[in-house]
Amino acid sequence: MRRLRVVGIVTAVALVPLLAPTVLVVVASLSRGELLTFPPQGLTLHWYIDMFGSDEVWTALGNSLYVAGLSVLINVVCGVPAALALPRVGRYGRTLFTVLLSLGLSSPTIVTAFAYFDLYSRMGFRDSLTAVSIAVAVTCFPFMLWTVLAAVEDSDPNLVPAAATLGADPVEQFLFVRLPLLAPGIVTGALVVFVLSITDFVVSQVLTTIDNQTLPVFVYSGLRGAISPALGAVSTFFIAVVALAFAVVLRLGKVERFLFRT
């Protein structure tokens, strides 16, 4: 009992520096003043009303959702076949190809971002939001690969041959036997990739322009001038969107099953 109390106290103390900046921004965004200060100079929802009526905020959020959605689609289309193929290439081949497919994460993100910047500049895709989605998808790809690969390893290898002996053709074997077994891993990977993609800043900062910037880049661009409570309102809105997505990950994805395996 005493040990549990000590763990609880240590956890609470560790959470303070993590949550304090978020709480300060949320409270300061309610200030009546023209600058983002704490404690706030009175309380008002004026900045939130202006934010929800701002076309720039909704455009930036739409860009973030587009990047995240396309990133998820790319990862699902590429990650599932890769995870199914890796167990068939042997122990050493699997290790080699897993490392190669994970280079998007193992390389420093800023290096990856500038590599894509140079590539897209040469190809004339500098202003394409789809090109940004591809770059973000590459950096997030290992999370999809690992979760689906874990689902493949957790499934019973005898179920597919059993379905074949009962007359199921290869398409039916995949759709009605293998795919349901992989579904938890696919859902988990898709949710994790979505959260990482919608919150991506480094790659988006390098590759986007003023005309197609995502919401994290839009928030950062507001820091260059006087920081008003309007920026705090946008930041709070973005925190709420990400928290909702992350809550779905924890509730439905069961991330710990795939990322913290014994």
Residue by residue, pLDDT tens for the chain (262 residues) are: 566 666 677 777 777 777 776 777 777 677 766 666 666 676 777 667 777 777 787 888 888 889 989 999 999 998 888 888 877 777 777 677 777 777 777 778 888 888 888 888 888 777 788 888 888 888 888 888 888 887 777 766 667 667 767 677 777 767 777 777 778 788 888 888 888 888 888 888 888 887 788 888 887 776 665 566 677 777 777 777 777 777 776 666 555 454 444 4
Residue 59 CA to residue 63 CA, distance in Å, equals: 6
Q: Are 48 and 28 in contact (CB under 8 A)?
A: no
Question: What is the model's pTM?
Answer: 0.76
CB atoms within 10 A of CB 249: 18
Q: Identify whether 39 is preceded by a cis peptide bond (ω within 30 of 0).
A: yes
Q: Which residues contact 247 (CB under 8 A, 6 or more apart)?
A: none
Q: Count CA atoms closer than 13 A to 40's CA, side-chain side.
A: 20
Q: What domains, with CATH codes, occur in the chain? A: 1-44 (no CATH), 54-259 (1.10.3720.10)
Q: Which residues contact 232 (CB under 8 A, 6 or more apart)?
A: 25, 26, 28, 29, 31, 36, 47
Q: Are 75 and 141 in contact (CB under 8 A)?
A: yes
